[in-house]
Amino acid sequence: MKDAEALLLDTDVFSYLLNEKSAYASLYKRDVERKRIAVSFVTVGELLYGAEKRIGEPAAGTMMAQAKLDDSSSGG
């Protein structure tokens, strides 16, 4: 896959592909086959937010990011 075309997915399309039960997943599967998939930091944030909302507590990625911010602001 070294020379595979890269494709930046938005949050909705990435979510559809993660959820194979989604009726929309089949619409995009063929377009992403044999391509390097990328998502933006905005999409990562939206996915973490959605996960937190679903489970009712901070996702691991959010907790790690907050710990990193806390550490850097305390001079550590």
> 10 Å Cβ neighbour count for 32?
15
For residue range 27-66, list pLDDT tens digits in order.
Answer: 999 999 889 999 999 998 888 888 778 777 666 666 666 6
The answer on pLDDT for 1 being more than 60 is no
Among candidate residues 41, 16, 39, 40, the one with its CA nearest the CA of residue 26: 16
9 contacts 43 by C-beta, under 8 angstroms: yes
Q: What is the pLDDT of residue 20?
A: 79
